[in-house]
Structure 1
Amino acid sequence: MTYTMLEKAGKNVCALYQMPDVMQQQGQVPYWLSYVSVEDIDASTQKVATLGGAVLQEPCDVMESGRMSLIQDPTGAVFALWQPKQHIGADLVNEFGTFCWNELQTKDLETATQFYSGLFGWQTRTTKNALGGEYVEFLRGEHSGAGMIEIQADWGDVPPNWVVYFTVENCNATLEKAKALGGRVDMDPIELEDVGRFAIVQDPQGAYFTVIEMAGNAS
């Protein structure tokens, strides 16, 4: 399997690989896979079932880079656990054109909260989102590491999933560029006070991601 690292300024940003044939045959659409770093992947993976989740792939070595396992939470969202060796993850984040945020979209906030709090020791803080519903932040100590939002009926057939955000200098310009490259805008920009302006994009192969122009960026 060919594994391609994407870089910016000579630093690892994210990666791509060919979806296995068996997943394509099952009708799995392309998606961005989010990883959570853990100290002991065997212990964390064993804990998943006791919290109501499922282990889709047992821990395995990824050469000398680290060890990974594939997990499905009790609400259906899939993510990976990663115990780093030589590769800790993205070297460059929170800069234009790089990863800046993870967000869980789920149909059961309470069940998801119990699972992730139990697995990683995360705390939560709840506020209102741009649509008037609840927005849950996952905290590790005082650090806000990810968010969670409830899937709404008017979203259509959206399964529980982890969404990745990439920060951009200009949201509108990025959307135009995405369309010119064969992608499409799935959700037009929404303004979040004191946060920024974000939109959902689908790449030419069908994978969804979010771009966000942080508040204070020059447009």
Structure 2
Amino acid sequence: MSMKSGSFVWYELMTTDADAAAGFYSRVVGWTAEDSGMTAATGMEYTILKAGETPVAGLMKQPEEVRETGAPPFWLGYIAVDDVDAYAERIEAKGGSVHRAPSDIPDVGRFAVVADPHGAKFCLFKGEGEPPAANVEPGTPGHVGWHELMAGDGASAFDFYASLFGWTKGEAMDMGPMGVYQLFEADGRGIGGIMTKPADMPAPAWNYYFNVDGIDTAVERITGAGGRIVNGPMEVPGGSWIVHGLDPQGGFFALVGPKG
């Protein structure tokens, strides 16, 4: 069995304090955190975040060279491909960049850290089998419900990703002065949106929305655990509610769920 090429299959937080971040997200999203057991093989500690028994995401301490740049903690999404090296070359040929050359994670798969032509980072991944959350029902709490690119340029960014991963256009929503919010589909299912980032956003970036069972109680958990609300809660088309926040280490995150 293989993972569906062009699908998001894993999420990872690079943070300044792994233990504190694991505690925060466990409380806010409802994950359980456990050590990956990979330290001996890779030389670095890696924490797995699980929804029930299903691994959803991982977190680790930012490498020293990243911390030295002053970069805040950030979430990375992993997109499945059938050949990491070939896709890394295609990304460079299309004006993107490779931040970490393709390399193997023992007994897990092969990955690379890359960026689109405007600098939004993501990972390429080819795993050793089916992704853990492959058959989860959309909207399940603790899983990722939406993928959003605040792009350097929305239209050209969509073309870049569509040409690589076969994503197709869903509805285009006119956001007035903010521009067009272009929904996109992978394998026939709506999984996200792309729009040109607002001028006050420092750099293009991918945002990932974690499903929760009620947005109002989640907001209380965020502030109770030392996080900060930066936008929302606000209703979005379809009746869901979203909130954007910063974790106590300064990492941006987003939640989606019903009112309540």
TM-score by length of 2: 0.76
CA displacement at 1:193 relative to structure 2: 3.1
Quick check: 1:64–1:86 contact (8 Å CA) kept in 2? no
- Cα deviation, residue 110, structure 1: 2.1
Identity %: 29
Aligned mates of 1:150, 1:119 — CA distance in 2? 19
Structure of greater relative contact order (alpha carbons < 8 Å, 6+ residues apart): 2
Match of 2:78 among 14, 22, 35: 35
Distance 2:81 2:254 in 1: 25
**Is the 8 Å Cα contact of residues 41 and 83 (structure 1) preserved in structure 2?**
yes
Q: Given the superposition, is the C-alpha separation of residues 20 and 87 from structure 1 closer, same or farther in structure 2, using an over 3 Å criterion? A: farther
Aligned to 1:65: 108
Asked if 1:48 is matched to 2:91, the reply is yes
CA offset digits 1:62-106 (Å, max 9, x no partner)? 111011001110111000001011572546573112221111011
Q: How many angstroms apart in 2 are the aligned matches of 1:210 and 1:161? A: 13
Q: Give 1:45's aligned amino acid.
A: A
Q: Which moved more, 1:202-211 or 1:82-91?
A: 82-91
State whether residues 215 and 241 of structure 2, in contact with CA within 8 Å, keep that contact through their aligned partners in structure 1.
yes
CA distance in 1, matches of 2:251, 2:133: 20
After superposition, the Cα gap between the structure-2 partners of 1:205 and 1:150, relative to the gap in structure 1 and judged at 3 Å, is same
Using a 3 Å threshold, how does the CA distance of structure 1 residues 70 and 34 change in structure 2: closer, same or farther?
A: same
TM-score, L = length of structure 1: 0.90
In 1, the alpha carbon distance for the partners of 2:240 and 2:164 equals 31
Q: 1:106 is matched with which residue?
A: 151
- Unaligned stretches of 5+ residues in structure 1: none
Instruction: Report the number of matched residues.
Output: 214
Deviations 1:38-59 (A, max 9, x none): 1111111111111110111111
Q: Which runs of 5+ in 2 are unaligned?
A: 1-43
Which residue of structure 1 lines up, in the alignment, with residue 198 of structure 2? 152
Q: How far does the alpha carbon of each residue in 1:95-145 deviate from its partner, in whole angstroms, 9 at most, with x for none? A: 112221111011301221221122112222342166673111222342223
